[in-house]
Structure 1
């Protein structure tokens, strides 16, 4: 497994070097008919286009040069291309280019919404649909990890739906993906999906440096995020805002993990069955070295995750604060800045 990862890491480096040498220069409107914008974020935007010569519909990811270094673009494109053969990962056309102001590449057009868009606030989505998503994303993540890579941005917004019933989904956006073992010295900003070890190197407002040791990029980062995503789509809530002692909801869960009992399950987690809590305790293990592999969820899919009688919304509210419900305004954004 490790040897395979190292080999794939070297291949990514070679792909990046070759792509840099052959990166064509073209202006988007000269080669593509722009139909409409179908996505936008801090990274740039995604356009629905057709190729002027072939007429092929595709999604064009366009990234401003002003906010992205060439190496960052090459890494995202080459990792995406290397992994795009998996049925649960968005495919690429092998078209990469630069214009005067942007870098861009063409990827498979997925007509449909992302997973975030179908989560009903304070409710989630049906357990059977969650399990269909979980099996497919677990397969995609295993494939990524077997190639010595880590996605690092697992969240509902990056899980694309090919139908309205979550029968087929695809993992997208490799803008933060890295080779396993890459060191991260600090990040700016946190998301609910970030593991505790990653939050430990987050710069607080006004800080210029962190005292925590650099974090090695490992599959366990994806495992943690995967666990949080499962919670979100089952409940329609974020379990916490950040994995830090200052967050009461996270600290309550962390305290429970030190001595887990069915009697003292934190209020937000009481809708889950003992089997589901066992799964979450494995995926959300505080010690990254003891955290389970993503594939372990398969042994839990055949079991019930939600109690037969769900607690109402008020029953989910801890007394010491307010939990954030999933809604369109709470859509998370990627890490603002990081230092390797």
Structure 2
């Protein structure tokens, strides 16, 4: 029997579920219980397999190697995923968790389709109408997550799964980095374009023993910023910057505009957007985390135009479909 120790009084439902799961985690051989058809996803921490159970039910099996995965981390991801899975815009779980000699694993709903990243045309994006449908559903999922005191912390197109090619139905996935609101981050070891400036300030540079910034409290505003970057990416087909640091010219240009919009021109790669859309981005991507809007406020902008029909750089958008994008 595996145990995490006694559950302290006042512990959260997630912590209680982790303890119960640890006590009932069964040992099995994957190939004896599942027919592995093919790999359908691979990330830094593990793989997702398309399998059929011995009762022939198709499902997706997420397997995490024990060599690089701590039991507590696996239990946290599984229990958080299970806790959230009844929301219609979040990938469902079967309630099957197990371990083999080499892996931890759990079974989740099979979403027959691609992820959002796979349908983005480089430097083109996807049609505005599809972006808006996606935005409403991801915002709904994030609103639900935040109401439960959790922060996803890994919002990106690869973690938005499509049930169809037009974003009529999408589902948020992958809760491996999800944390309780208020968890303290001491440092990070690298940056991604989706990371908010306060998170990028926590980078531990080569040769440093510690970062200069104080520990960062995990808040929903981190997801809000990442959500804003995601919307930019799927509208344009490229990132607005590499990282939110002063060494990045594209970020610095956006930062100057955010801090003084009356005197600083709209950055070149943002001129394709309408004033209403820029207002939305300004609220999602506020440099000060305390000034960022809630993700659900995006729904108030869906009825407005986001992309100019004839943009200042001469590009033309017809019926919501972007024909070309260059910055």
Which whole-Å CA distance do the structure 1 matches of 2:11 and 2:262 have between them?
A: 42
Which whole-Å CA distance do the structure 2 matches of 1:292 and 1:161 have between them?
A: 26
Tell me which residue corresponds to 1:105: 106
Q: Are 2:19 and 1:17 equivalent residues in the alignment? A: yes
1:73 is displaced (CA, Å) by 0.5
Greater mean alpha carbon deviation, residues 71-80 or residues 302-311 = 302-311
Matches within 5 A, 1:252-267: 252-261=253-262, 264-267=265-268
The TM-score normalised by the length of structure 1 is 0.88
Tell me which residue corresponds to 1:3: none
1:83 is displaced (CA, Å) by 0.2
1:205 is displaced (CA, Å) by 3.1
Kept after mapping to 1: 8 A contact 2:228/2:281: yes
Aligned length: 310
Which whole-Å CA distance do the structure 1 matches of 2:263 and 2:133 have between them?
A: 27
Kept after mapping to 2: 8 A contact 1:9/1:149: no
Greater mean alpha carbon deviation, residues 251-260 or residues 131-140 = 251-260
- Secondary structure in structure 2 of the residue aligned to 1:203: coil
CA deviation digits over 1:47-74, x for unaligned, max 9?
Answer: 000111x111000000001111111111
Which whole-Å CA distance do the structure 2 matches of 1:180 and 1:270 have between them?
A: 35
1:316 is displaced (CA, Å) by 4.7
Pair 38,242 (structure 1): closer, same or farther in 2 beyond 3 Å:
same
1:105 is displaced (CA, Å) by 0.2
Which whole-Å CA distance do the structure 1 matches of 2:208 and 2:288 have between them?
A: 26
Pair 254,166 (structure 1): closer, same or farther in 2 beyond 3 Å:
same
The TM-score normalised by the length of structure 2 is 0.92
Which whole-Å CA distance do the structure 2 matches of 1:71 and 1:290 have between them?
A: 34
CA RMSD of superposed structures (Å) = 1.7
Tell me which residue corresponds to 2:51: 49
Matches within 5 A, 1:109-188: 109-188=110-189
Which whole-Å CA distance do the structure 2 matches of 1:8 and 1:224 have between them?
A: 31
Pair 312,19 (structure 1): closer, same or farther in 2 beyond 3 Å:
farther
Matches within 5 A, 1:2-81: 10-52=12-54, 54-81=55-82
Kept after mapping to 2: 8 A contact 1:275/1:304: yes
Kept after mapping to 2: 8 A contact 1:267/1:316: no
Higher relative contact order (CA 8 A, sep 6+): 1
